[in-house]
Amino acid sequence: MTILMNDATNANVSILQRTNELFQLTQKRVATGKSVFGAADDTTRYKMSETMLGRGRQLSDINNNISLALSTLEATDKTLKNMVGLIESGQTLIRKAQSEGAAGLRSVTPTANLNSSSVVTGVTVGSKFSVTSDAGKNFTYTFNSTTVTWGQVADALNSANIGVLAEFVPSTTANQTNLRFVSFNEKDFTFDAITDENVMDDLTGLTSPNGQVFSPADLFANGILPPAANERGFTVSYGGQVTGTAGAGVTGATAIAAGTTLTFEDGTGGVRSISYAAASTLNQVITDITAMGAGIKAELVNVTGAPAGPLQFRMRNMNGGDMKILSGTGSFAAAAAIGFPGVTVGYAAPLSSNNALRLAYGRQYDAIIVNLDLLVQNNPVQNGRNLLQGQNMNVVMDEFAGNPLTISGISITAAGTLTLSQAGSGWTTDQNIQNSATQANQALINLRNFQAQFATFNSYIKSRYDLNKAYQGDMKTQGDELVAADASEESANLVALQTRQQFAVQALTIGNQNEQSLLRLLG
């Protein structure tokens, strides 16, 4: 269709063009929510908006840097906590080593490598393991299975509370443990003869300072059979003792001649005497001394551990002191059949101070010191800044690029900063162990001071991070609001422009139709 142009048509077309331009602009404002799209629209508002939004973007970058610093501080704090835990484990080892040599122990430790899961070998159902303390309390374990472990036996013994404790301790050989039996009531104790020799032969290397030669097959019952006459068990004895030396040995029926006397000191230092006007037997002597309750144990014992004995008469001080024989006549004369040496003293043995165990604990302590240095070297920090190796870290805190916050690192070493110079390999004296204890205490103080020092930075930086995040949100909001369009106003404008556009189109159409009608009349 041909459009005839005149002034009215030109005006309508111009209006329609302008309306379309405004319509497109309003549509853009409604769609984007903005009323200013560039400096040409509104120089002042556009500049202010871009400044706000730019600062917001800078704060986002700054917070990324701060977040990296916070991660570094968090990793460093975790490493320091692990180091504190290692030091506390080292203090536990120090206390164990100190207790090994404190007042000494009545203890015995086989050389066999036994731990709580080691199965007691060679037993049959009905086999026994029996221990009696000189306090008179007994523990007897009867095996109901062939797969019982030493851990189960130890638990049962400890629960019985007879005055003897079973515990698993480090061996002098790395990665091995031994089963140790300890008296905690200041009394000696005996592995009884009814114990199956197949149980006792697991305890290789058992010794006693004032005891017999350890020979399980000659001192204990064979399986579930009763013990033979010469199988008298094995006593862990620290108290003094005097033992007869009769060449052929003695028995409970050995005769005691009339007129026999024996005078000795009891367990408290008092003088005791026993006399026989009429003939008697050695069994009666043992019964009479036991009835005194004098702290002295009279017994028949297989001292040599030889298969056939011989049995000897022995007197032991159950209170741990010396065993003093003051005089003896008749069957207790020096040359008599009992074989007693006459006036004599059986000296008490010194309580055990196990340097081997101390050194075993010391090896573990030295491993802890090595691990402390490894923790420092492998501190899992980002961006390569290891604060525990003396490396500093700069943290930019704001968008103005002012002076950054400098977090100074600390060069930590076990032997230097933490003062741990006394090695566990020297734990053979109380003084060396005490040196380690003093150094470990100081190391713990130092580590906690380092934790507090870095925690102060962590708290401040976290506060700045939160503040920057709040500022970032405010800047974006303010920047957007400066160029934001009024949604209600622009929507109303859109409706008005749609109406104006419709009117302009209609006016143009009507004007064009009028011109065509006039031309037809004239033509």
In angstroms, rounded to a whole number, what is the distance separating the alpha carbons of residues 120 and 166? 15
Examine residue 310 and say whether the peptide bond preceding it is cis (omega within 30 degrees of 0).
yes
pLDDT of residue 208: 92
Six-digit token pair at 100?
């090994």
In angstroms, rounded to a whole number, what is the distance separating the alpha carbons of residues 182 and 132? 12
* Digit-coded pLDDT (tens) for 387-418: 888 888 877 666 666 667 788 889 999 999 99
- Cα of first residue to Cα of last residue in the chain, in angstroms, is 18
Whether pLDDT at 134 is above 80: yes
- Say if pTM beats, i.e. exceeds, 0.85: no
pLDDT of residue 379: 86
Nearest-10 Cα torsion for 385, 389, 391, 397: 60
3-state secondary structure 316-352: EECCCCCEEEEEEEHHHCCCCCCCCCCCEEECCCCCE
pLDDT of residue 316: 95
Q: Which residues contact 156 (CB under 8 A, 6 or more apart)?
A: 139, 141
Question: Where exactly are the structural domains of the chain?
Answer: 1-33+487-523, 58-100+355-478, 105-238, 242-351
pLDDT-based confidence at 370, cuts 50/70/90?
very high
More confident residue, 204 or 495: 204
pLDDT of residue 506: 65
SS3 state of residue 389? strand
More confident residue, 483 or 502: 502
DSSP string, 261-324: EEEEE-TTS-EEEEEESS-EEHHHHHHHHHHHTSSEEEEEEESS--TT--EEEEEEETTSS-EE
pLDDT of residue 403: 66
Q: Which residues contact 253 (CB under 8 A, 6 or more apart)?
A: 281, 282, 283
Rounded mean pLDDT, 135-141: 96
Rounded mean pLDDT, 311-332: 94
Six-digit token pair at 18?
């302008």
Are residues 317 and 323 in contact, defined by beta-carbon separation less than 8 angstroms? Answer: yes
Whether pLDDT at 355 is above 60: yes
Are residues 316 and 265 in contact, defined by beta-carbon separation less than 8 angstroms? Answer: no
Rounded mean pLDDT, 191-198: 98
For domain 58-100+355-478, the question of CATH label 3.40.50.150 is answered with: no
pLDDT-based confidence at 278, cuts 50/70/90?
very high
In angstroms, rounded to a whole number, what is the distance separating the alpha carbons of residues 523 and 513? 15
pLDDT of residue 335: 75
Which among 23-37, 248-262, 402-416 has the top mean pLDDT?
A: 248-262
pLDDT-based confidence at 1, cuts 50/70/90?
very low
* Digit-coded pLDDT (tens) for 229-247: 899 999 999 999 999 988 8
Count of Cβ atoms closer than 10 Å to residue 430 Cβ: 14
Whether pLDDT at 434 is above 90: yes
Of 164-178, 180-194, 295-309, 464-478, minimum mean pLDDT range: 464-478
Rounded mean pLDDT, 457-461: 76
